[in-house]
Structure 1
Amino acid sequence: MLTLAAAAVAGLEAVTVTATRIEQPSFDTPASVDVIGIDPAAAQAPGVNLSEALGRAPGIVVRNRQNYAQDLQVSSRGFGARAAFGVRGVRLMQDGIPFTMPDGQGQTGLFDLDAAARIEVLRGPFAALYGNSAGGVVSLFTEDPPAAPTLRIHGGAGSFGSWKTGVDFGVPFGDAPPGFTGKLSRFATDGWREHSRTRRDLFGAKLAWGEPEASRFTLTATALDQPDTQDPLGLTREQLDRDPGQAGAGALAFDTRKSVAHRQAGLEWAHRLGPRDTLKLRGYAGDRRVTQFLAFSGAAPTSSGGAVDLDRGFGGLGLRWTRAGRTAWGPFSFTLGIDYDRMDERRQGFVNDFGAAGELRRNERDSVWNVDQYAIAEWWFAERWRLSGGVRHSRVSFRVRDDFVTAVNPDDSGRRDYSATRPVVGLLFAASDTVNLYASAGRGFETPTFAELAYRPDGQPGLNFALDASTSTNLELGLKAQLAQDHRLNLALFRTGTRNDIVPDANVAGRATFRNAARTRRQGVELALESRFGGGFEAWLAWTWIDAEFRDYASLAGADLSGRALPGVPKHSLHAELAWRHAPTGFSTAIEAQWNGAVWVDDANTARADAYAVASWRLGYDLRYAGWRIVPYLRVDNLFGERHVGSVIVNAANGRYYEPAPGRSWFGGVKASLAF
């Protein structure tokens, strides 16, 4: 079998992952998991959007809406492409702490790329072991405290009045690894489209103490302030062709915008009970305040209003015990765990009086909680065979108490419980020291989010508690190979069949309604290749082909849509990157290319966003002077000015499907670090 040490000798640095909740080489994991290493002190990018970092991972599509009021759109093997805002169907985590709420909705704006050491992207059957996340898991791990006191300052500016500045610092505690790090940054932009100005302040901190081989505590904190972020809305095809930089209908009249204030802290304690047993306890808590103005008044007596005021508190606990050992055949590990997460919110809606909050139209208390139990086991039961698997039972409960009841607006209080037990199994065969083959299968489970329950497709008052959870059957075959010494290849074939898939029905004036599709199917191929050549050259390639379609689905009007492609999912996507570094001078440069196939924008496949190919170029220096590490850089995106659509709003009303991407743009900056 290929061990972590052997992989390092083979050439490329061995990659350790936590995809199955236990640190191990990704080469020995029977799952599609990619790791993107990041050096924030030298990254030639502003560190604003997750889309900057995930191009090298196949199967995952991160679309930049150019709209910070609605966040990025993240999809994994087609899951999550339905989201009109935020992230659904893909679970987000940072340092083991969820950035996804118990109902399954998360926000990428909380990720701190200035602190990132690596990002793991897990797809396929084993994602089910993380809970309510059918499509995949994106986990960001921040830097540990430094070995010496360190100060880092960075700043930059670019197109559309964009700029970012920040300061990071780290302090060790004695000679041991524990210590403290803190990050504070501000990003602002006028936006390339009309009515898309934003400002984002992000704070992150990490405090670690204890001995890794005995007990270790890690305390993390995240704070985000994003006031009055303007929302330019989607465009029709006619508007897109005439002027892609304009704001959508109603954006100016109703002053569409969103303000977010988010605070969150998490604590993890890892304790060795002995040479074979480890106990991990995590806890987190936070609050989130959102005020949003939509593109309509919401003045009707039965309306929920066109201005949203949301005050949310959330938190959770998790306990995990792991035993590792050996049998006569080989090593094994066994994990038992339990998770509890809860979210409580006060949601109010007001009339949008052309950008000001008017009369009350909605007032309710929402809560959702989950209790999950899971077991995971891994065993090298023969010299070249490894069996991995697990089972997770989830119960997710939604409660709504309606405090706005009138003669024309009935009581919409209610409750809905969802539960499922999901098994996963994977088998890996080490064909040689440099080639592993694997097969895995499992069941997935995804509940609707509160946003998807908010409105009924028939237009009547009340919440959509008729919406069922979706269940999926996931199959995967894969190959992982170390080619020669400096080349790594991953290949995966997958097929997912889903029942009661949660799909958008319509998106009218900022209100998205959802329905269940009886059956959908996603199948495809993923290829990832990483190569290190002589002379300072490196290359990455990530290619995905996916066929996603409705297998059994009728529209609300009764039209049979079976056989139509799932909207928002490109059939082909390709990322290619070639980088060169001249070690003696510290100069480096790279060219990136991205190609995405056309995507349908509605269930009936009557309109689509065209395929596009864009290139980006970057260059920088890594200079050392008087103890300072200074990294000036410049990057140019969409180098050839390709006119294209960056993301789409599936089933948007009145054909307002399109969120255009900018033409050629640039950003340049300097990062300077000093270790005392």
Structure 2
Amino acid sequence: MRCLTRLARRSALFSAVLLPNLAQAQDAAAAPAAVARLPAVQVQAARVRQLADADLPASITTVWLDDEGNGRQAQIAEALSGIAGVVARDRQNYAQDTQLSIRGFGARSTFGVRGVRVLVDGVPATMPDGQGQLSHASLLAAQRVEVLRGPFSALYGNSSGGVVQVWSADGAAGDPWRLRLDTGADGTLTAGAQLRGQQGPLRYNLAANHFRTDGWRAHSRARRESVNARLGTDLGGGQLDLVLNYLDAPDAQDPLGLTRAQVRDNPRQATAVASQYNTRKSVRQAQAGLVFTRTDGAQTWRAMGYAGQRSVEQYLAIPLAPQANPLHAGGVIDLDGGYGGVDARWAWQGDWAGRPLELTIGANADRQQQDRRGYENFAGDALGVRGRLRRDQRDRVENLDQFAQAWWQWAPRWSLLLGLRHSTVRFRSNDHYLTARNPDDSGARRFDATTPVAGVVFRASEAWRLYASAGRGFETPTLNELGYRADGQAGLALDLSAARSRSLELGSKWQAGGARIEAALFRADTDDELAVASNSGGRATYRNIGRTRRQGLEASYLQPLGAQAELALAYTRIEATVRDDYPLPGGSVRAGARLPGVPQQQWNARLQYRPGPWQWAAELVGSSDTVVNDLATETAPGYALLNLEAARRWRTAQGTLRAFARLDNVLDQRYIGSVIVNDGNQRYFEPGPDRRLSVGLQWQWLP
């Protein structure tokens, strides 16, 4: 009750401070118009058709990426910075992916992305078990990034605490080609080329990227090559798109985390065992997706199929002693497997009771198959090399989902969005490493969930919308979390349950004359939350800890300042807490304790000024402190950083040349850029870099 009272007070504060005057809105709403409909390419979120995002009962942010960005374009975190409710941290560690969480979901992940659903050009980058990655998404090829928060994320299935979708631009006649080069401290270089346009019936968007760095920290050198392609043509009265992605990231060094004392002594150092065992990770991925969309009158059909292959080899800093246990899987991870899936949906637009109605039904099936081997990370006296085989298993995860959705504008000012999804996720592991002291660890588990969502929008005026939404979601354990039992015995952790959540959201959206104000209150209560049970000897085990709660508020403000300047503000406050006591080695977690990895407050401000050929920008990024372990014995302190940008453009008869520069951490602050939640060696901290300058050139021309 006390929490609800606090939410009510904050709602009243929002109404008084952030929302337009209600009396003015009522006057303007005397003769409301129909809900605005946009071309289908504009918004693809919440599985709804071509509506402006203001008319959806959900928090949706679209970041449009143009050719005037001043960052390195090496990590997707650049595009996600400044979005309310989103934590996207560049770890300065290219052996690990961007640290991503949305409204506290996914914050516990120590590698990759989990708890958040990721798609690239409509193709899932999150596997059926809920584990995903962002490394193959190209900012050079991308046109926009869409971020969905709140209850309607559940319409995307397992582990959808939020949704991130990266969309490439469709090629068109007259599109320019471009070359881009960016260089900076620590031997960092990004080079890319994009060819976009139309040749006869074929529309194309091809982008190739090379990135390398010696790293700000010791033992953090990395190299990455990627190729992304989107090819489209008209076929059979519809549009056919072929999406191709290739990524090669060999031997990215992993400096590991640092203890507080190590950060204080030298934040640029790597942990000694990182060099001793030459910790590193290699990733290679290739995938293709085919999407066909056809609209015939009131009906739209969409079919998508995709397939890919991904291999990962990772050398860990696991000491020799733990590997003496015959049940230990070794210190080298070798994964190789394929994945793929299909998605089909049908939508109909018409009227019911004289009011606009749209129905959507569909189904999708996905499958990942993974050969997982483990090896000792030593051979004789040599460390950091592949030794004897210690694990050999075949893992398979499959999901089969069905979904339906209905949108109805049942009155001039009111619209309703309803959705329902049923998911079945099956895990199967076959153990092929059998010895006298290591028995068969094969096993299987099935999870089922039905997730309803509903939302209503009130059109207070042409500019102002109020909405409310509610829904349920679920999150299964991943293959990695099922891999070990918390009691130390052989076999899979088949006793783990899926986490189940109930979400609520109240929000407001106002937009007029280029200005935009959005605010939302949210709450998500989760049962059977998945958390670390133990983390020692290079092995993490998991358990269901009971109930948790994530609640808070988001606000964003965009204001043009004349024709050449713009101010953007974003703020997030979240209280992510445990609601049930549970024991841990070394102590007990009490109800009310903060969830690790989730800062209570975040803020971002960006002021941009574009006089003629010049561009100037100042950016302020801040975060409060972050708890790093379940017992809350350690925290990463909060920080505030100032970044500056400048650019100049020259137009010539041959094309456009643009020079740009970015100065990060202008005040040279020491800070913790990201954290490793519940690290067993108490190396929780990944320091952020000091003052860094990068400069670049871009050449753009018409072929």
- CA–CA distance in structure 1, aligned partners of residues 670 and 475 of structure 2: 36
Match of 1:234 among 243, 257, 267: 257
* Alignment-derived partner of residue 61 in structure 2: 34
Classify 1:149/1:119 alpha carbon distance in 2 versus 1 (closer, same or farther; 3 Å). closer
* Alignment-derived partner of residue 285 in structure 2: 262
Contact 2:464 2:508 in 1 (8 A): yes
- CA–CA distance in structure 2, aligned partners of residues 102 and 509 of structure 1: 28
Aligned residue for 2:582, secondary structure, equals: coil
* Alignment-derived partner of residue 223 in structure 2: 199
* Alignment-derived partner of residue 572 in structure 2: 544
Match of 1:369 among 395, 398, 417: 398
Pairing 1:428–2:428 present: no
Note the alpha carbon deviations across 1:549-568, whole angstroms, 9 max, x for none: 00014023472422100011
Match of 2:76 among 37, 40, 50: 50
Aligned positions of 1:353-368 closer than 5 A: 353=378, 354-368=383-397
Aligned positions of 1:518-533 closer than 5 A: 518-533=546-561
* Alignment-derived partner of residue 190 in structure 1: 214
Pairing 1:71–2:88 present: no
Contact 2:62 2:144 in 1 (8 A): yes
- CA–CA distance in structure 2, aligned partners of residues 606 and 74 of structure 1: 23
Aligned positions of 1:46-125 closer than 5 A: 46-125=72-151
Match of 1:346 among 371, 376, 382: 371
Match of 2:690 among 656, 663, 670: 663
Shift of 1:671: 1.2
* Alignment-derived partner of residue 143 in structure 1: 169
- CA–CA distance in structure 1, aligned partners of residues 312 and 504 of structure 2: 39
Classify 1:173/1:123 alpha carbon distance in 2 versus 1 (closer, same or farther; 3 Å). same
Q: Partner letter of residue 103 of structure 1?
A: D
Match of 2:490 among 461, 465, 469: 461
Match of 1:208 among 214, 226, 232: 232
Aligned positions of 1:221-300 closer than 5 A: 221-272=244-295, 274-296=296-318, 297=320, 298-300=323-325
Pairing 1:418–2:424 present: no
Aligned positions of 1:437-456 closer than 5 A: 437-456=466-485
Shift of 1:391: 0.3
Contact 1:17 1:25 in 2 (8 A): no
- CA–CA distance in structure 1, aligned partners of residues 288 and 575 of structure 2: 40
Aligned residue for 1:652, secondary structure, equals: coil
Aligned residue for 1:568, secondary structure, equals: coil
- CA–CA distance in structure 2, aligned partners of residues 455 and 2 of structure 1: 58
Aligned residue for 1:110, secondary structure, equals: coil
Aligned residue for 1:241, secondary structure, equals: helix
Q: Partner letter of residue 279 of structure 1?
A: W
- CA–CA distance in structure 2, aligned partners of residues 664 and 556 of structure 1: 40
Shift of 1:370: 0.1
Pairing 1:334–2:334 present: no
Q: Partner letter of residue 643 of structure 2?
A: S
- CA–CA distance in structure 1, aligned partners of residues 476 and 333 of structure 2: 23
Q: Partner letter of residue 207 of structure 1?
A: L
Q: Partner letter of residue 619 of structure 2?
A: E
Aligned residue pairs total: 663
TM-score normalised by L of structure 1: 0.96
Shift of 1:21: 3.6
- CA–CA distance in structure 1, aligned partners of residues 173 and 227 of structure 2: 22
Contact 1:526 1:544 in 2 (8 A): yes
- CA–CA distance in structure 1, aligned partners of residues 164 and 368 of structure 2: 21
Pairing 1:623–2:650 present: yes
Shift of 1:510: 4.4
Shift of 1:169: 1.1
Shift of 1:316: 0.2
* Alignment-derived partner of residue 471 in structure 1: 500
Unpaired runs of 5+ in structure 1? 9-13
Shift of 1:7: 10
* Alignment-derived partner of residue 644 in structure 1: 671
- CA–CA distance in structure 2, aligned partners of residues 351 and 17 of structure 1: 46
Aligned residue for 2:583, secondary structure, equals: coil
Classify 1:549/1:4 alpha carbon distance in 2 versus 1 (closer, same or farther; 3 Å). same
Moved more, 625-634 or 611-620: 625-634
- CA–CA distance in structure 1, aligned partners of residues 182 and 659 of structure 2: 9
Shift of 1:149: 6.2
Classify 1:494/1:555 alpha carbon distance in 2 versus 1 (closer, same or farther; 3 Å). same
Q: Partner letter of residue 252 of structure 1?
A: S
- CA–CA distance in structure 1, aligned partners of residues 417 and 493 of structure 2: 38
Shift of 1:170: 2.4
Note the alpha carbon deviations across 1:454-489, whole angstroms, 9 max, x for none: 22223333222221110000000000012x523101
Q: Partner letter of residue 352 of structure 1?
A: N
Aligned positions of 1:482-561 closer than 5 A: 482=511, 484-508=512-536, 510-557=538-585, 559-561=588-590
Contact 1:18 1:24 in 2 (8 A): no
Aligned residue for 1:114, secondary structure, equals: coil
Aligned residue for 2:140, secondary structure, equals: helix
Q: Partner letter of residue 678 of structure 2?
A: N
Contact 1:575 1:592 in 2 (8 A): yes
* Alignment-derived partner of residue 11 in structure 1: none
Note the alpha carbon deviations across 1:109-137, whole angstroms, 9 max, x for none: 11110011111000000000011133100
Pairing 1:322–2:320 present: no
Contact 2:34 2:412 in 1 (8 A): no
Note the alpha carbon deviations across 1:561-603, whole angstroms, 9 max, x for none: 22100011000000110000012xx100101111101011111
Note the alpha carbon deviations across 1:77-124, whole angstroms, 9 max, x for none: 000100000000001111111011111111111111001111100000
- CA–CA distance in structure 2, aligned partners of residues 464 and 337 of structure 1: 33
- CA–CA distance in structure 1, aligned partners of residues 663 and 542 of structure 2: 39
Match of 1:306 among 298, 321, 331: 331
- CA–CA distance in structure 1, aligned partners of residues 566 and 467 of structure 2: 27
Moved more, 641-650 or 556-565: 556-565
Contact 2:43 2:49 in 1 (8 A): no
Match of 1:173 among 189, 194, 199: 199
Shift of 1:150: 3.8
Match of 2:187 among 153, 161, 166: 161
Contact 2:344 2:364 in 1 (8 A): yes
* Alignment-derived partner of residue 130 in structure 1: 156
Q: Partner letter of residue 275 of structure 1?
A: G
Contact 2:91 2:688 in 1 (8 A): yes
Unpaired runs of 5+ in structure 2? 1-31
Q: Partner letter of residue 286 of structure 1?
A: G
Shift of 1:148: 2.7
Shift of 1:615: 1.1
Q: Partner letter of residue 615 of structure 2?
A: S
Classify 1:222/1:535 alpha carbon distance in 2 versus 1 (closer, same or farther; 3 Å). same
Contact 1:2 1:28 in 2 (8 A): no
Query: RMSD in angstroms over aligned alpha carbons?
Result: 1.7
Classify 1:223/1:4 alpha carbon distance in 2 versus 1 (closer, same or farther; 3 Å). farther
Note the alpha carbon deviations across 1:375-415, whole angstroms, 9 max, x for none: 01100001110000100000000000000011111110000
- CA–CA distance in structure 2, aligned partners of residues 553 and 389 of structure 1: 36
User: Percent of counterpart pairs with the same letter?
Assistant: 44
